[in-house]
């Protein structure tokens, strides 16, 4: 079983009893699929970032539950049919599989990451040593050569200076 988080956005014009009935319908679908509820928390009405079906607000509910991954699609299908639900999002919180199966995979991943970091560190030091050796062979005493300007690439987030195309203005 996996632990999931479900965020429901319900229509703001629903009365409290209709809201509770809609949430109960979703929780019943989870339990009928063989899942178990961990937490159901109402967040109240909040303003939406953009209009959804001409609504500027929605009633938010957060539900934590455990269920088999194969059942999630069936639960979502029921939510898509409901007219009270404006939006929903199901996310995986954690995989609650057997510890013996997860531990070797996680250990293998972390050892691969450590090996990659060691390789990068070794590459960095070997480049530094070759640069120092080249400076000593020229007879320099570790001073930088002023005639060599290091090439630098522009930052990916920095705008590139390109000539602007001339635009025609309509006079009138």
pLDDT band per the 50, 70, 90 thresholds, residue 135: very low
- The pLDDT assigned to 103 comes to 46
pLDDT of 27 reads: 95
pLDDT at residue 4 tops 80: yes
Beta strands 36-52 and 85-95 are unpaired
**Residue ranges covered by each domain of the chain:** 2-95
pLDDT for 137 beyond 70:
no
Distance between the two ends of the chain, CA-based, in angstroms? 70
pLDDT value, residue 151: 55
Domain 2-95 falls under CATH 3.30.70.60: yes
Cβ-defined contacts of 121-128 (< 8 Å, 24+): none
Give the alpha-carbon dihedral of 78, 82, 85, 87, to 10 degrees.
50
Give per-residue pLDDT as tens, 76-134: 999 999 999 999 999 999 766 654 444 444 544 555 555 555 555 555 555 555 455 54
Crossing angle of helices 16-32 and 69-81, in 10° steps, is 150
Q: Which helix (H) or strand (E) holds 38?
A: strand 36-52
pLDDT digits (tens, 9 = 90+) for 155-169: 555 555 555 555 566
| Stated pTM of the model | 0.55
The pLDDT, as a whole number, for residue 100 is 47
Percent of the chain residues topping a pLDDT of 90:
52
Tens-digit pLDDT profile for residues 18-63: 999 999 999 999 999 999 999 999 999 999 999 999 999 999 999 9
Q: What is the pLDDT of residue 94?
A: 72
Q: For residue 29, which phi and psi values (nearest 5 degrees)?
A: -65, -40
């Amino acid at each position: 079983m996996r632990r999931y988080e479900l965020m429901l956005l319900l229509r703001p014009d629903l009365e409290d009893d209709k809201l509770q009935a809609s949430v109960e319908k979703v929780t019943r679908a989870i339990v009928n699929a063989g899942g178990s509820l961990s937490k159901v928390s109402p967040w109240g009405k909040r303003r939406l970032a953009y209009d959804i079906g001409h609504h500027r607000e929605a009633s938010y509910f957060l539900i934590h539950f455990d269920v088999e991954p194969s059942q999630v699609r069936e639960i979502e299908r029921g939510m898509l049919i409901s007219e009270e639900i404006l939006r929903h999002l199901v996310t995986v919180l954690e995989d609650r599989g057997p510890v013996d199966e997860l531990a070797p995979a996680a250990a293998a991943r972390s050892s691969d990451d450590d090996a990659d970091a060691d390789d990068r560190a070794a590459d960095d030091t070997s480049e530094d040593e070759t640069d120092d050796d080249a400076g000593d062979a020229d007879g320099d005493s570790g001073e930088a050569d002023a005639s060599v300007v290091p090439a630098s690439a522009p930052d990916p987030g920095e705008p590139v200076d390109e000539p602007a195309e001339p635009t025609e203005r309509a006079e009138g």
